[in-house]
Amino acid sequence: MVATREVISFPRSKSSTPAPCMKRTIRMKAKVCLVGEPAVGKTSLIRRYVSGHFDDCYVPTLQAKFATKRLALSFEEQELKVNLDLILWDIVGDKGMRQLLKEAYFFGAQGILAVCDVTRRATLEELRSWWKSVMDTVGEVPWVVAVNKSDLRDRYAFGEEKLHLINDLLNSTTHFTSAKTGEGVEHSFELLGSRVVQRELSKNRDLSLYYAHSV
């Protein structure tokens, strides 16, 4: 298990006035599941994001794996800083295992990074089945779709129209990623982390539950 730290800021519109000072810092933890068919690159995306490495040797995931990464998120309008510990679950792609163990896999999930392979259209279509499994277990949570292997530009198997359809179903946004080059990887995880925090804060405004303190 590897833990690293980085800082991201989500500013308001540009202004000549200085940004307000942060008054509160809270700590949160969030379980995020990576879902998608075998060989779409879920494990490689986690490895790239957490450790900055890539290995093109494919080894199927036979059971759920875990990794952690800490983000420091700034929300200027709320004068709030959130130290978010992402607990990343690398879910087995096999459909039979998914159905058998979906309660264990998805229980408590607060966000989903759905991964498809841009060179295989079927992996995009199968996200519908993953969406149903998640909905049956935890209901609505934030989703981000990572269209992986974007470096293979001469082998794209689908275009923007198909992506719009899946976004409408999942209420998500789509981002092209490459675990090999690093393109779009950090942004996809960071965006999902930000949405998870915003959703949690909208449900519970008692910041003392998240170890709030002044800074």
Domains of the chain are 5-10+21-203 (3.40.50.300)
Q: What pLDDT, on the 0 to 100 scale, is given for residue 208?
A: 65
166-188 residue pLDDT tens: 999 999 999 999 999 999 999 99
Q: What pLDDT, on the 0 to 100 scale, is given for residue 65?
A: 82
Task: State the Cα–Cα distance between residues 110 and 88, nearest whole angstrom.
Answer: 11
Q: Is the pLDDT of residue 27 over 60?
A: yes
Q: What pLDDT, on the 0 to 100 scale, is given for residue 75?
A: 87
Q: What pLDDT, on the 0 to 100 scale, is given for residue 201?
A: 87
Identify whether the C-beta of residue 148 lies closer than 8 Å to the C-beta of residue 155: no
Task: State the Cα–Cα distance between residues 29 and 195, nearest whole angstrom.
Answer: 13
Task: State the Cα–Cα distance between residues 62 and 211, nearest whole angstrom.
Answer: 36
58-78 residue pLDDT tens: 555 556 788 999 999 998 888
Task: State the Cα–Cα distance between residues 180 and 54, nearest whole angstrom.
Answer: 6
Q: Which amino acid type is present at position 21?
A: C
85-116 residue pLDDT tens: 999 999 887 777 777 777 888 999 999 999 99
Q: How confident is the model at residue 2 (pLDDT cuts 50, 70, 90)?
A: very low
- With a pLDDT cut of 90, the percent of the chain lying above it is 62
Phi and psi, residue 156, nearest 5° = -60, 135
The two tokens of residue 179 are 């675990």
pTM: 0.83
Q: What pLDDT, on the 0 to 100 scale, is given for residue 101?
A: 76
Q: What pLDDT, on the 0 to 100 scale, is given for residue 7?
A: 47
**Dihedral, CA of residue 48, residue 199, residue 111 and residue 128, to nearest 10:** -120
